[in-house]
Amino acid sequence: MKLDFILNFDIVVVGSGIAGLVSTKEAVKTGKNICLITNGNFGGGASYFPLKGTLGIQSTLNNEDREKFLEDIKNIGNKMENEDLIKTYINEIPDNISSLKEIGFEPWLRNDRRPACFAKYPRDIYLIKDWEKAREKGKEIFSNFENLKIFENTSIVKIIKDNEKIIGGIFKNKDKFFGISSPIIILATGGIAGNFKHKLYPEDVNGIGHIVALDSGAEVQNMEFIQFIPGFLKPKYNTLFGEHTLKYCEGMFDLNNNLIFDGINNPENKNLWIERSGYAPFSFDFESHKIDLKMINSLDNEGVILKYSKDLYKDEGEFYKVYLSWLKDTMGIDMCKDEVIITPFVHSCNGGIKINNNSETSVKGLYAVGEISSCIEGANRLGGNSVGGSLVFGKRAIISAINYLKNSDFKEYSLLDFQLKFNDWLDSLIDGKNILSENEILTKLKAITSKACNIKRNEKVLNISLKEIENLKNNFSIKENIKSKGLEIYLRLEVTKMLILSMLERKESRGAHYREDYPYSLDDTYKIILSRKNNNFIVKILKI
């Protein structure tokens, strides 16, 4: 493959969600020559997905709240969290809320201080909304930076190294490949939800950044902990379901209107429904996960019907009124009048690339921020922390990167240097037969991922799915489709394999990870670390 051209920048940021834009804004301030790459249009990823009326960010209330905040995050992390990063977050988040204004949002403090999802203690929660307005404002802000070059509809396919240091990357725009020579790459490419059938995320958040990072020498951890949140199949597909409404649910039914699980009026189930109304994502750590498993039992029928008491619309709580008004006015959904059919949708990924307090990976010059990183989350994700983590560690990545630039020597690399390294990698890939089309591969990939990596997991299905992934690879030619989606599909197949290997190794149920064949949590705790060498995964168990 020939590269069309090569460009030189001091820092490259990949991803234009909140994490990527915060990092880019901080980088621009330094006066360095900056490049922003986004695989869609400016302002993308989960950050700008219209998931609900508002999005919250938890902020430390005061000095007395620091220990309580730490307790909240550690409790819900269930021994899988990263304590050093948590302490940094707690100390620095109050001073970082203003970063949202710098990229086009208008955050405001909630009036009713209340515990966020999974939290025990109430604290300050800032809200943002108006995604389109924020995107347009962000475009205006970023268009005025003379030291910034933006590439839209462009994806990263390979990181290039020399002497164990980052020297740049290979990028693809339509059917063209080009190189960027840069000692710093900051990955903000988001999670892995795009590889599932039902997702409350954009299609292009597909995890290829994880594999690109692994192939450069980075590690990932906690990839088995993926949040699933109920979403609407009907009356409007791909819309967030408000879990707080469940305390008014009168029953769960299959699509033939047969009762699956009695509702709030049944004394035996009342506490389960009340508990389940207090958090959004599935979690084995709560007894009310039984409700989710009842829902999963009916997955072959594509969802379950929920029926509601009219008392739902009498609740005067702000959280209810804001959500129900948004649902009715924006989405045209009335929970009592419409047939409500829900199923688990994949949402955010709690694990990711291993980083330290400065967002540094194990590879010199490579940073990870936002959902692609294994940040402050553990077996569960505390509500309102994901955006906050992007603010704190996006800024920290730039501080570290500038220091790295000051204290290191770099030489320039030519187009030929990059082309040789890129083609050496392409030659190392085992190519399959050109039997299945790109659309066929992607359809089959989503079906495999959705079956094996959903809420219910077991060894048999996971192992079968590994073989199915290999079969897809054997029946798809990367090189025959390289100018289209050949490399993207290869990387996405590897993403699902990464998830399956992590889930296979976690032989217990904990937090967002549930194994039918191991329906209990172990006393001994460990983290599952994955790396790659010669295009193959290496699995390591780290006892903690």
Using 50, 70 and 90 to split pLDDT, how confident is the model at 320?
confident
Mean pLDDT check: name the lowest of 34-38, 46-50, 154-158, 190-194.
46-50
Mean pLDDT of 400-404: 98
Asked if pLDDT for residue 52 goes beyond 80, the answer is no
pTM of structure:
0.96
Which pLDDT tens digit goes with each residue over 100-122?
999 999 999 988 788 888 999 99
What pLDDT does 301 receive? 54
Which of 118, 122, 386, 384 has the alpha carbon at shortest distance from 276?
Answer: 118
* Cβ-based neighbour number of residue 242 at 10 Å: 20
* DSSP class of 20: H
What pLDDT does 112 receive? 79
Task: Give one DSSP letter per residue of 422-471, joined into a string.
Answer: HHHHHHHSPP--S-S-HHHHHHHHHHHHHHHSSSEE-HHHHHHHHHHHHH
What pLDDT does 120 receive? 93
Asked if pLDDT for residue 136 goes beyond 90, the answer is yes
Distances (CA, A) of 388 to 82, 405, 413: 15, 26, 37
What pLDDT does 316 receive? 86
Asked if pLDDT for residue 326 goes beyond 90, the answer is no
Which pLDDT tens digit goes with each residue over 357-392?
999 999 999 999 999 999 999 999 998 899 999 999
Which neighbouring-strand residues pair with 150? 36
Using 50, 70 and 90 to split pLDDT, how confident is the model at 300?
low
Mean pLDDT of 306-312: 96
What pLDDT does 297 receive? 65
What pLDDT does 116 receive? 87
Using 50, 70 and 90 to split pLDDT, how confident is the model at 476?
very high
Which pLDDT tens digit goes with each residue over 524-540?
999 999 999 999 999 99
Mean pLDDT of 32-60: 90
Assign 49 to helix, strand or coil: coil
Are the CB atoms for 508 and 80 separated by under 8 Å? no
420-443 b/e with 16+ CB inside 10 Å = b?
A: ebbeebbeeeebbeeebeeeebbe
Domain 228-346 has CATH 3.90.700: yes
Mean pLDDT check: name the lowest of 37-46, 278-287, 294-303, 341-350.
294-303
**430-543: what fold?**
Methane Monooxygenase Hydroxylase; Chain G, domain 1 (1.20.58)
Listed by start position, the domains of the chain span 228-346, 430-543
Per the prediction, the chain carries an average pLDDT of: 95
Asked if pLDDT for residue 267 goes beyond 80, the answer is yes
* DSSP class of 510: B
Indicate if 430-543 has the same CATH topology as 228-346: no
What pLDDT does 298 receive? 53
What pLDDT does 66 receive? 96
Mean pLDDT check: name the lowest of 41-55, 225-239, 409-423.
41-55
